[in-house]
A = this chain, B = another copy of it.
Amino acid sequence: MMNQRSSLKALAHTLLLWVLLASAAPAMAQTDPLPSWNDGPAKQAIVEFVKATTTPGGAGFVPEAERIATFDQDGTLWVEKPMYSQVIYCLDRVPAVVKARPELANVEPFKTVMSGDREAIAKLSLEDLEKILMVTLTGMSVDDFRAEATKWLDTARDPRWKRPYTELTYLPMQEVLKFLRANGYKTYIVTGGGQDFVRIYAERVYGIPPEQVVGTAAATSYGYDKDGKPFLTKDPRVLLNDNNAGKPEGIYLMIGRRPVAAFGNSTGDRQMLEYTKAGGGARLSMLVLHDDAVREYAYGPAQGLADSRVGTFTQALYDEAKKAGWTVISMKNDWKRIFAFD
């Protein structure tokens, strides 16, 4: 007992020392939570929003349980050019699917994908891509899907930086995720991409657990294998289309609270940003503008940027942002660094 008391006393003295030291280092609390951001209106908007919503007694104070922040993924948290990573995964999966179902080899759009003709593949219509997604993402158990996609994520490399796709996440946005969480926010991904796909790496890449990923989702069916063990199969039927109006609808279904902060980069995020801002009080709606052709890509077509099939940021969206008090983030001007590997 004396020994235990002695060691507890030593611990208490350590605590005393720690308390005294802490009082001598108030500067620690001043560490910049967003070191990859240049000073400017975007960084200022984030810092002021966090201060307003977390200061007890302030007009903009939000109780911790209601601190919900939602982030689009493609083009907001990671690179979406030249094509969404998940679409590249699906295209890469086509040969395996055609091997298992040879009748697809001479059917479009699978025939074009199998031809390897990059130009023709790049020209596939949205309808064609949807057919490819349906065939490559469904008709298997959720465990088989997970195993296949995990293998691809571990081995595939993007064409420009020659790195795993999961490394192409924006460092400044990672800082925002951490800054919000350090201030009691629950961070969610609300993506037009596949919920199952993103859930595989969201914890590792963004620190976001699967239950905080909302995305486009296929229905599943519960069944039993030959040993009577239950499993879930991914069905070729879209249950949730988490784009445009589907984003606030998906947020209501999956979270049941209106976000206080929302981040997007395209017309597909418009309704989520409107819905967030309409909550009243201190609200943060932000849009990432891809205007840095040197360090990433420049496409839009807001502000005269090139038109693009992915991540459409129209001038009308830009104008709505300005009018509604959303903040546009210029990758070129607001971000010191784009990637952790820069």
Query: Which residues of A does B touch, CB under 8 Å?
Result: 4-5, 8-9, 11-13, 15-16, 19-20, 23, 65, 142, 186, 195-196, 199, 203, 209-211, 213, 217, 219-222, 229-230, 232, 239-240, 245, 248-249, 252-257, 271, 274-275, 278
Chain B contacts of A9 at CB under 8 A? Answer: 16, 19-20
Q: Is the CB of B222 within 8 A of A245?
A: yes
Copies of this protein in the complex: 2
Closest CB in chain B relative to A72 CB, distance in Å: 16
Complex Cα distance A336/B229, Å? 36
Q: With A211-B257, A271-B230 in contact, is A23–B11 under 8 Å at CB?
A: no
Residue of B nearest to A68 (CB): B211
Point out the residue from B16, B19, B65 that lies within 8 Å of A209, measured CB to CB.
B65
Complex Cα distance A253/B253, Å? 11
Closest CB in chain B relative to A323 CB, distance in Å: 11
Q: Is the CB of A255 within 8 A of B20?
A: no
Chain B contacts of A249 at CB under 8 A? Answer: 219-222, 232
Interface of A is mostly: helix
Complex Cα distance A239/B253, Å? 10
Closest CB in chain B relative to A61 CB, distance in Å: 18
Closest CB in chain B relative to A201 CB, distance in Å: 13
Q: Is the CB of A12 within 8 A of B19?
A: yes
Closest CB in chain B relative to A274 CB, distance in Å: 5
Chain B contacts of A13 at CB under 8 A? Answer: 16
Residue of B nearest to A224 (CB): B274
Chain B contacts of A252 at CB under 8 A? Answer: 142, 220, 232
Q: With A220-B249, A248-B230, A249-B219 in contact, is A16–B12 under 8 Å at CB?
A: yes
Given A195-B253, A221-B245, 17 more contacts at CB 8 Å?
A9-B19, A12-B12, A12-B15, A12-B19, A12-B20, A15-B15, A211-B254, A213-B256, A220-B252, A220-B253, A222-B249, A222-B271, A230-B271, A230-B275, A230-B278, A239-B253, A254-B254
Chain B contacts of A239 at CB under 8 A? Answer: 239, 253
Q: With A210-B256, A213-B256, A248-B230 in contact, is A19–B23 under 8 Å at CB?
A: no
Chain B contacts of A65 at CB under 8 A? Answer: 203, 209
Chain B contacts of A196 at CB under 8 A? Answer: 256
